[in-house]
Amino acid sequence: MTEKLIFSQLYQLPEHLKVEVLHYIAFLIKEQTSQVHQVRKPKKRTFGSAKGKYQLAPDFDALLDDFKEYMP
């Protein structure tokens, strides 16, 4: 269905626009193949690399007031 619609629209275009469509198709194919080859390997994680970057609040383990009605 989609191909028939594309072809019917393509046949209605003047020749110079058909060439533009051809160039755009070539561009899309090139972009698609370049994205496939750009698969990145994940970085190797280092244990303790975030040490000292984050600090928890002193009352981190304290009960939250929002949950008081659910507590016994």
According to the model, what pLDDT value does residue 32 have? Answer: 83
Alpha carbon of residue 17 to chain centroid: 32
Amino acid at site 9 = Q
According to the model, what pLDDT value does residue 39 have? Answer: 67
According to the model, what pLDDT value does residue 21 have? Answer: 93
> Has this prediction a pTM greater than 0.85?
no
DSSP state of 44: P
According to the model, what pLDDT value does residue 43 have? Answer: 84
Q: Which residues of the chain have pLDDT under 70?
A: 35-39
CA pair distance 57, 4, nearest whole angstrom:
63
According to the model, what pLDDT value does residue 69 have? Answer: 87
According to the model, what pLDDT value does residue 37 have? Answer: 64
